[in-house]
Structure 1
Amino acid sequence: MDNFTISDMFFGPAGPVFLHSMLIVIIGMTMFVSIRLLITRRKIGYLSMVVALGIFLLQYGQLVHQTLSHNTGDVQTFTALVLKVLAFVMMNIGMYQLYNVTRKRDIVVFCLSGALSVAAALTYWYAPIWLQSSEEHHALLRPLGMELYLFILIFVSFMLVNPRIGQNGKYQLMLTVYFVMHTVHMANLYLFNGSQRALDLLERTIPFAFHIVLFLFIFERVIELMQAIYISSITDGLTRLYNRKYFENRVKQYVQQRVPVAVLFSDIDNFKKLNDTKGHQMGDLALKKVAQIVKEETEDAGICGRYGGEEIVVLITDPDTKAESLAERIRSRVEEETNVTVSVGYSYYSKGVTAEELIKQADEAMYQAKTTGKNKVVGF
């Protein structure tokens, strides 16, 4: 052990054990994150990923055992190939399920891939008669069916799975790395009979790139879920505008810093009558159209939110945007582009005014617009 060198780590007898053990650690970390996601999200895609990662652990654990025991018989080689194919299939099924609802047709495709995998595995034991020449030649060609089947799976994954999932860049990188890894393995085995040290090195190190990208894929999924949870906590589900709590907090932040902001407070005219006569679906549609107009008009001027019911509010943070001009643009667009109108009130921040008072002032101005004819803009 005192003379153990970096060269021994990659090319020595203990090299495969060391490198495969490191891979097991990386896969274990990925599996831990996947299990946490499975517990919290209870989605079948995470279960499939956990199963796939479990098979990866078995695959590299079996390779470590095979190296330590110096046992490379037919059963061991076959087991390694089966685990390799199953892990790849389950990984792709899991990634597909993370971004898609599993339907009946998907189950049919999964079952078909399973049946094809079984058929490919059988070629190991039942090779065609014309391949059964010398024992050495036959032993070399036995795994060929399963090895070529992996190339087919990579191609099918590119064609069918890649367009239907998020994180396409990472997924394509994973498949590309896996393709290179398998190509190097095939070249090393069938062209050079394992005699090329450079190919040996690539065959042992490329899996690290694959499993690191796989870990990043799962970790990115965690970030996606955290972002989705945060966004849902600060936005309104119907209009996709900020909710009342978030809007009030932002107003408080600006007021506490004494930034010269303004608040618009708008209300859809005769909204209750619209709901009662044409139904809540039409009311929701009108609300979403108004919200979209407000969002478009305030994109560079500030933030907008749904304050409650049919009330939509705007915090103007751009010092060059005049509240009355913005309010009038919103009012006129709503009148022209929808089947409803809005009454809008606005108020500017002044020294000594709290956030609650600023919003209340804009609300009072809107109420004045309501009671003096509707479909108009009034300042506080």
Structure 2
Amino acid sequence: MTTPTFSDFVFGPYGSVFIYGMLMVIILMTSLVSFRLLMNRRKIGYLSMIVSLIILLVQYGQLIRQALSPSIDDTAVFTALLVKVLAFVLVNIGLYQLYNATRTRDFVVFAFFGGITALVSMTYWYAPNWLEGSEEQMRLLKPLGLELYLFLLLFLSFLLVNPRIGQNGKYQLMLTVYFAGHIVHMANVYLFDGKQRYLGLLEQTVPFVFHIVLFLFIFERVIEIMQAIYNSSITDGLTKLYNRKYFYNRVQQCINQQTPVSIIFSDIDNFKKLNDTKGHHMGDQVLKQVAHIMKEEAEDSGLCGRYGGEEMVVLVTDPDESAGELAERIRARVQEETIVTVSMGYSSYKKGLGADELIKKADEAMYQAKTSGKNKVVAS
């Protein structure tokens, strides 16, 4: 019995088993992340992703069996190819569903492609009568329909799925790698009859890149969801300003560090009358307009929050920024660009002041502005 050489291991069946086994490990890791997301988010996209990954595991399990038993029948070849196509379709459906709510029309499109896939798969068994050739030629012809159908699916994925999802760079890389791997596979089978061992090795290793990028894609989606959850916990849903709790905590943090900060407190004038006469929809629009102006003006000098109702606040952290001048810029822009005006007051930190007192002083200055004519800025 001869000892296997390094070349035998790389290009032989045991090398294929090792590569496919490593790919299955990557797919299992991706499946675990997708399953965790499914349990937490209950979104159908993660279920589609898990099903597609299970099919991929079946695919690579079949490839391992083929590597160990080279003499396989037509049914095994057909099953492996069909599983490959179905896995690609379901992966793309899953990625689409991660970023889009699945509507009735989407199910119609999915069913349509399912039907097309079924029809194309029949070409493996039923070649047209006018296609005649040797036994070897007919053997190569059988899978050609499904092989070319994969190219069509790649093109449609670039065209239809890519514009509708996030992480376009990773998705485009995945499709490009898959396309390159399929080109290598087609060249090896149809130009070299599967006997070019370097192309065969490349065909086996290219999927590593695809599945690593797919894993990173899913992992990045986890980070996006966590970031979205965190943002929703610290921001106001309507104005997108920080909520009262987060704003207060930031003020408290600055006070604890004895940072020289200022607080601007603002209130929209006659807001209740606006809601009563023009409706809450108009009131919401005004709130968003005023919040946008405040964010733009305070972008480089502090942070903004919605303190409650029509009350908005600014924490001025830039020591070079005058709170009075900033408040006046905001007041002037609101008067010029919206249908309302704002009354504003501000206070600056002095040693011994707590967060509650600093905010209260700005609130009292705002109240003074409101009771002495409105649409003005008053210092504490």
TM-score per shorter chain, which class? over 0.9
How far apart, CA to CA, are the structure 2 residues paired with 1:165 and 1:93?
Answer: 11
Q: Per-residue deviation at 1:5? A: 6.0
How far apart, CA to CA, are the structure 1 residues paired with 2:17 and 2:296?
Answer: 60
Q: Look up the match of 2:134.
A: 134
Q: Look up the match of 1:295.
A: 295
Q: Look up the match of 1:154.
A: 154
TM superposition score normalised by structure 1? 0.97
Q: Look up the match of 1:106.
A: 106
Q: Per-residue deviation at 1:134? A: 2.0
Check 1:2–1:328 CA distance in 2 against 1; reply closer, same or farther (3 A cut).
farther
1:226 maps to amino acid:
M
Q: Per-residue deviation at 1:166? A: 0.8
Q: Look up the match of 2:88.
A: 88
RMSD value over aligned CA atoms?
Answer: 1.5
After superposition, give the CA deviation of every residue in 1:181-228 in whole Å (9 maximum; x if it has no partner). Answer: 000000001101122222111111001000000101111110110110
Structure 2 regions of 5+ residues with no counterpart?
Answer: none
Correspondence 1:149-228 to 2 at 5 A: 149-228=149-228
- Larger deviation, residues 97-106 vs 323-332: 97-106
How far apart, CA to CA, are the structure 2 residues paired with 1:353 and 1:372?
Answer: 26
Q: Per-residue deviation at 1:8? A: 3.8
Q: Look up the match of 1:243.
A: 243
After superposition, give the CA deviation of every residue in 1:28-76 in whole Å (9 maximum; x if it has no partner). Answer: 1101111111111111111111111111011001111222334421011
- Larger deviation, residues 256-265 vs 104-113: 104-113
How far apart, CA to CA, are the structure 1 residues paired with 2:269 and 2:346?
Answer: 17
TM superposition score normalised by structure 2? 0.97
How far apart, CA to CA, are the structure 2 residues paired with 1:363 and 1:3?
Answer: 85
- Structure 1: which 4+ aligned runs deviate by more than 6 Å? none
Q: Per-residue deviation at 1:248? A: 0.7
Q: Look up the match of 1:54.
A: 54
- Larger deviation, residues 195-204 vs 343-352: 195-204
Q: Look up the match of 1:68.
A: 68
2:366 maps to amino acid:
M
The answer to whether the aligner puts 1:35 opposite 2:32 as a matched pair is no
How far apart, CA to CA, are the structure 1 residues paired with 2:201 and 2:291?
Answer: 59
Structure 1 regions of 5+ residues with no counterpart?
Answer: none
Check 1:2–1:94 CA distance in 2 against 1; reply closer, same or farther (3 A cut).
farther
Q: Look up the match of 1:315.
A: 315
Number of positions where the alignment pairs a residue of Structure 1 with one of Structure 2: 380
Check 1:6–1:278 CA distance in 2 against 1; reply closer, same or farther (3 A cut).
farther
The answer as to whether partners of 1:131 and 1:141 remain within 8 angstroms in 2 is no
Identity %: 69
Q: Per-residue deviation at 1:130? A: 3.4
How far apart, CA to CA, are the structure 1 residues paired with 2:101 and 2:107?
Answer: 11
Check 1:278–1:158 CA distance in 2 against 1; reply closer, same or farther (3 A cut).
same
Q: Per-residue deviation at 1:262? A: 0.5
2:183 maps to amino acid:
T
